[in-house]
Amino acid sequence: MASSFDAIESKIFNDPIHGHMDFDPLLIKVIDTPQFQRLRHIKQLGNCYWVYPSANHNRFEHSLGTCYLASKLVQSLKNGLDNDLEIEITEKDIFLVSLAALCHDLGHGPLSHAFDGIFLEKLELKKKHEDLSVEMLDRLLKENDLIPKFKERFNDFDDEVDIEFVREQIRGPKENDVLIGLKDNKKRFLYDIVSNKESGVDVDKFDYIARDCHHLGIKSTFDHSRYIKLAKIIKSGDSYKICIREKEARNIYELFHMRLVLHDRAYQHKTCKAIELMMMDALYSAKDHIKVITSNKELKLEETVNNAEAFEQLTDNTIFGLRYTTDPNLKECRELLERIDQRKIYRCMYQGDISLKENVDMILEDYKDKIIIAPVNLNYGMKNLNPVDHCWFYEKSNTKECFTIKKEEVSQFLPQKFSEKRIRIYYKGVDKEEYEEIKKKLIEELNKQHTN
């Protein structure tokens, strides 16, 4: 008699980045849930769409791509295991890593990072999207009764330990974290596939860099397929590490260089940020008038981050729908959204070194309600550190030993610094004369202080 699992159909997704992506039938069960389908309605790049019209892709396809690359990388590592290594990568390992990759972005709110960055910070709510993803994962599994299906496939499936392994991958454990979901400490390297806290080299970056570049019309110089093909597990002391051929060091630098390019030209583009600030100001002005109905209560917008059932209802449409409201309580919100459509956006009047922030605060003290001072942080993903210093390499002639590579051994043309901080000052109004007046005063005062 065929089990219920036998009836689950596999699917192939035709993707512009990775081609034909095939998925484990159990992962299809996850994809076909309301909690995952919600990601179709959250733009991957948020407000970049208003500057780059083709950047209209969503968290849904990015999550599929990340899952696909995770399964490809784990399978490649499994196929390349040396016989003398005392580890085994099982089919359950591949499934659990793929599941974590698939669900790593379930916790994004409307317009992605704009919500869990600017909006939640304005509310002084210290909740990361990774934590929200874990809560949404738990809801997804419970509401769709998926654990029994996992157990049907894997006889040794332990729902407490194995699902905790998935949660820990989504959060991205740090080096000294105690890991409940890891039964075999030799396989700690599995945590470096979805969210790598050691070096930042992970399949999440592989997909979003390739996908975002494609939709933004920016040419990527990083090739993730070479990394996946050449990655190996090598024992170093008492631990096992994911290592890459030494000749690929330059390619790894290109990964982080492309991350920097995307932040500079898109994610933190001055107009993208202006629209993002307006969107979040609009949402903030409406926060006390937006009610989310759950099965047993009505919640305010800020309360949804502690209620997965309510949070599931939040998508980009939460904001876009306010554009046409006639509620007088939402007048400020509606006007801000109308301004975006009419291209009457916040104007960047100044960009400079972040060390001048105190000077700027003092000079513009009388205009606090007219301006926003926004930071711009550009780096290689590890603040002022070089992430490639934390990568491990091996030589083709010796796959038993791994090592790190100094920047100078790769090229003399690589950057000397790995971070840069600036501030931008945006004028929130629409009065051109007032804008010029504030800008003139700012520049004059800064020049005066510089001369002194």
- Residues 133-189: tens digit of each pLDDT: 999 999 999 999 999 999 999 999 999 999 999 999 999 988 788 889 988 889 999
Query: Of 76-85, 316-325, 442-451, which gets the smallest average pLDDT?
Result: 442-451
Give catalytic status of residue 62 as yes or no: no
Among 7-21, 210-224, 299-313, the minimum mean pLDDT is found in 7-21
pLDDT confidence of residue 182: 87
Does 247 reside within a domain?
yes
pLDDT at res. 8: 58
Domain span including residue 273:
8-344
Does residue 1 sit within a domain?
A: no
188 inside domain? yes
Residues with Cβ within 8 Å of residue 60, at least 6 apart in sequence: 36, 37, 39, 40, 42
**pLDDT at 447 (0 to 100):** 87
Domain membership of residue 298 (yes or no) is yes
- 444's tokens: 């004059």
The yes-or-no verdict on residue 5 having pLDDT over 60 is no
Residue range 441-447: average pLDDT?
90
The answer as to whether 179 is a domain residue is: yes
Better-predicted residue by pLDDT, 445 or 165: 165
User: Is residue 371 within 8 Å of 360, Cβ to Cβ?
Assistant: no
List the CATH number of the domain containing 193.
Answer: 1.10.3210.10
Which residues neighbour 236 within 8 Å (Cβ) at sequence distance 6 or greater?
392, 401, 402
Report the mean per-residue pLDDT for the chain: 94
Backbone angles phi, psi at 101, to 5 degrees: -65, -40
Structural domain includes residue 263: yes
- How many whole angstroms separate alpha carbon 11 and alpha carbon 315? 26
Could you tell me where the beta strands, DSSP code E, fall in 354-441?
371-379, 393-395, 398-403, 419-427
Average pLDDT, integer, range 39-64: 97
* pLDDT above 50 (res 2): no
The answer to whether 115 touches 43, Cβ cutoff 8 Å, is no
CA 133 to CA 99: how far, in whole Å? 12
Q: Which residues lie across from 11 on neighbouring strands?
A: 23
The string of pLDDT tens digits covering residues 243-269 is 999 999 999 999 999 999 999 999 999
Q: Which of 62, 108, 129, 269 is catalytic?
A: 129
Q: Which amino acid is at 393?
A: F
Amino acid letter, residue 295: S
Contact of 372 with 426, CB cutoff 8 Å: yes
Measured between alpha carbons, how far is 137 from 386 in angstroms, rounded to an integer?
33
Assigned domain for 52 exists: yes
pLDDT tens digits for range 26-45: 999 999 999 999 999 999 99
CA-based torsion, 302, 307, 310, 315: positive or negative: positive
pLDDT, residue 135, reads: 98
* Measured CA distances, 308 to 40, 132, 292, 296, 358 (Å): 18, 8, 11, 13, 40
Q: Yes or no: say if 437 and 370 are a contact pair by the CB < 8 Å rule.
A: no
CA distance 222 to 226: 9
How many domains is the chain partitioned into structurally? Answer: 1
**Residue 164 maps to a domain:** yes
* Average pLDDT rounded to a whole number, residues 326-348: 96
pTM score, two decimals? 0.95
